[in-house]
Amino acid sequence: MTRPDPTTGRPPGSEAAPDYEAGAFGHHRTGEQGRLRALEDLWDPLTEHCLGQAGVPTTARCLEVGAGAGSVARMLARACPSGDVTATDIDTRFFEELTAEERITVLRHDVTRDGFPAGSFEVIHARMVLCHLADPAQVLAAMAQWLTPGGLLLVEDLDLGPADATPHPVMRQGLHVAEQTLGASQGSDLRLGRRLQTLVTDGGFVMGGMRVQPVLIGDGGPADEFWRLSFAQLRDFQARNSPALAAELDAALSLIDRPDFTDLGMNAISVWARKPVAGLTG
């Protein structure tokens, strides 16, 4: 089902985040749904593993922030057969079909502007969300309010740091252009993953665990399709603004299917933690 925001009362469809939507990965861009599905293929196994490690109550009320194409909302619904899931995004077009699910609520919601009542959820998950926000610490503070005491937070983001050390200059430049393009067009920080643990602990959460997964490009795995679609979409975006940068993205794209190419493109980083329970120590 679809409902208004429970705190602001805004109807679905009001107030999207203009910076993100104007950027290279805005929901209206051709190919964005396919790119998000490729991200799911790449990252869902890690997310499912981390949810299992963290422990999700079968009765939990769950919030999926930035639901993308909807796979993690479905994952949470399976993990909580006696609970429910609220799946949010600034644009819900790619997972509107979840409105047909009995225990999933679809909500258009801007995490930087809209809220929820305190203690609304036992589990909050956000993947590739914090890296696109101007003030991720502020949003983590809001999430802490939305969680019940002892509630679980799982946040996941990437670190593009391995791009600096690649032995392939064309790929290094392509990844750096991708980083610059997303930083300029929508304020993204593609190295936020390396700060994720610090952001969570500075936010007052009690660490539960962390997993870092290197992501290869060119080995025939799911990252190949993710980067094919990402580079192509970034190239199309830059074709209007900077043909020279578009050409560098195209050159990186052409490497992916070469039989002599494999590279470490990024690290996928997952951190889970819990909101402290008053009076509990250690």
Tallying the residues shown for the chain, one arrives at 282
Helix residue ranges, H only, 55-100: 71-79
Neighbour count for residue 105 (Cβ, 10 Å): 18
Average pLDDT over residues 247-263: 96
Output the six-digit token pair for 255: 């490497």
pLDDT of residue 279: 61
Picking from 182-186, 232-236, 265-269, which range would have the lowest pLDDT averaged per residue? 182-186
pLDDT in tens, 98-120: 999 999 999 999 999 999 999 99
Q: Is residue 261 part of a domain?
A: yes
Any idea what the CATH number is for the domain that residue 264 is in?
A: 3.40.50.150
pLDDT of residue 251: 97
The helix or strand, by DSSP H or E, that contains position 216, with its residue range, turns out to be strand 206-217
Q: Is residue 2 part of a domain?
A: no
Look at strands 147-159 and 61-65 and give their pairing: unpaired
Output the six-digit token pair for 41: 């293929």
Instruction: Reply yes or no on whether the pLDDT at 143 is more than 70.
Output: yes
Output the six-digit token pair for 197: 């643990």
Instruction: Reply yes or no on whether the pLDDT at 45 is more than 80.
Output: yes
Q: Is residue 204 part of a domain?
A: yes
Binned at pLDDT 50, 70 and 90, residue 241 comes out as confident
| CA separation, residue 195 to residues 43, 51, 92, 130, 265 (Å) | 19, 20, 28, 11, 18
pLDDT in tens, 73-91: 999 999 999 999 999 999 9
Over the chain, what is the mean pLDDT? 91
Q: Is residue 12 part of a domain?
A: no
Q: Is residue 13 part of a domain?
A: no
Q: Is residue 221 part of a domain?
A: yes
Binned at pLDDT 50, 70 and 90, residue 280 comes out as low
Q: State how many domains the chain has.
A: 1
> Could you tell me the residue range of the domain that residue 136 belongs to?
18-274
Output the six-digit token pair for 36: 């998000």
Q: Is residue 265 part of a domain?
A: yes
